[in-house]
Amino acid sequence: MLVLAGTSDGAGAIPGRRVVLTGIGVVASCGVGAESFWAGLMAEAPVGRARPVPDFDASGLYAPKELRRNDRFSLMAGVAAEEAVNDAGGIEALRGDPDRAGTMIGTGVGGLETIEQQHRILMEKGPGRVTPFLVPMIMANRAAADLSMRYGLRGPCETTVTACAAGTQSIANAGHLIATGRCDVMLAGSSEAPLTGLGLAGFGNMTALSTSGVSMPFDAGRDGFVIGEGAGVVVLEERSRALARGARIYAELAGGASTADAHHITAPSPDGSGAARCMELALADAQVRPEEVTYVNAHGTSTPLNDSAEGEAILKVFGAPGPAVTSIKGVIGHTLAAAGAIEAVAVALSFLHHLIPPTAGTRHQDPAIPLDLVTGAPRPWEPGPTLSNSFGFGGHNGCVVFLPA
């Protein structure tokens, strides 16, 4: 990681400090836990206006009182983080100097479920019945704060709130803290639980949601995204430290970048210029040439505007047909701020299994977007440099580059 201007505070990476991914955890509609999640990515695209996590249960990690005092989004982050920490060898092996270990957990809207529930109580029963835990339950930084306290991490504890780019930007920002020498280990990721009446109405009334109930990224007949919920958390660690303790390394986080479209509050720049610039900066940060990239994990939301703009951006950077491209949103839906972190877990598992998941739900690729889209079945793949994209309302763009371990 060079840590370019425009990607963090401009401080340079310390030579020899490389960032690796040593633990993964995921909560998604197709599976809770990495093994179930990966199996779910190989399945057909489900049908329905939303992708909830069925029978989500955090009672194995949280006491009854904690369950009542946490919003669903922070509970999901906690479950994903616990899997990631255990996968990395457990907190005692992982933490080291607690002042050099931190959390970076993004979200888009925070405790939306709690806001809706407590507003109903306010209207029906009066202000005296509103929970005194309302504010700490809804605040966007709740998940990051909870994880720092749960694991005793006293380094940076921060929250990225950049709509659907938050997960990817959280991972990039956490990686930069390690590359520049501030930290040795970070829990990074994002969580979102937007499947409430208010959330569904808001997205539905702005005509962002699919009317068919099928997410079909880059398909000629795509008609909007299917909204989902979930969380992804990864453990990032300085490479020599990870090697010294014998950790399993899934991938190297080689670079990341952030840009803005400066165009529209919901629509992406039609020519994909902001997204293309973000990809270029991320590749430069990773010191990877476009022709070396073998796989792009696309944002691919299944909306007409997003897929066209992202397709245009990918073609600008790589040419046609370019590297293999897939979107996992055909299975998990669009999990908003959680998307980039869940997709980082998917990339790590692609490295592990030497497979690229298919773009489920897509049957007739849009001829105006001539990408090398993986459809129908997973594609065998020799892991190589991989780019993962996330683009959010407000014009937020985030990209990260992973290399095989």
Domains of the chain: total? 1
- The verdict on residue 349 lying in a domain is yes
Q: Which of 4-13, 84-93, 205-214 has the lowest mean pLDDT?
A: 4-13
Report the catalytic residues: 164, 299, 334
Mean pLDDT confidence for 265-270: 90
Identify the band that residue 15 occupies on the pLDDT scale cut at 50, 70 and 90. Answer: confident
- The verdict on residue 254 lying in a domain is yes
Whether residue 385 is predicted with pLDDT greater than 90 in this model: the reply is yes
The whole-number pLDDT of residue 9 equals: 46
The whole-number pLDDT of residue 311 equals: 97
Mean pLDDT confidence for 319-333: 97
pLDDT tens-place string over residues 347-384: 999 999 999 999 999 999 999 999 999 999 999 999 99
- The verdict on residue 8 lying in a domain is no
Euclidean distance between CA atoms 226 and 52, whole angstroms: 10
Q: State percent of the chain over pLDDT 90.
A: 95
- The verdict on residue 11 lying in a domain is no
Residue 78: give the domain boundaries: 19-395
Mean pLDDT confidence for 293-298: 98
Whether residue 7 is predicted with pLDDT greater than 50 in this model: the reply is no
CATH of the domain at 302: 3.40.47.10
Whether residue 4 is predicted with pLDDT greater than 80 in this model: the reply is no
Whether residue 10 is predicted with pLDDT greater than 80 in this model: the reply is no
Mean pLDDT confidence for 209-216: 96
Q: Which of 29-33, 262-266, 312-316, 398-402 has the lowest mean pLDDT?
A: 262-266
Average pLDDT, the chain: 96
- The verdict on residue 26 lying in a domain is yes
Mean pLDDT confidence for 275-281: 98
Q: State percent of the chain over pLDDT 70.
A: 98
Identify the band that residue 159 occupies on the pLDDT scale cut at 50, 70 and 90. Answer: very high
Mean pLDDT confidence for 257-279: 94
Whether residue 1 is predicted with pLDDT greater than 90 in this model: the reply is no
- The verdict on residue 257 lying in a domain is yes
Mean pLDDT confidence for 387-395: 96
- The verdict on residue 12 lying in a domain is no
The whole-number pLDDT of residue 8 equals: 42
- The verdict on residue 188 lying in a domain is yes
Q: Which of 140-149, 170-179, 266-275 has the lowest mean pLDDT?
A: 266-275
Mean pLDDT confidence for 47-57: 96
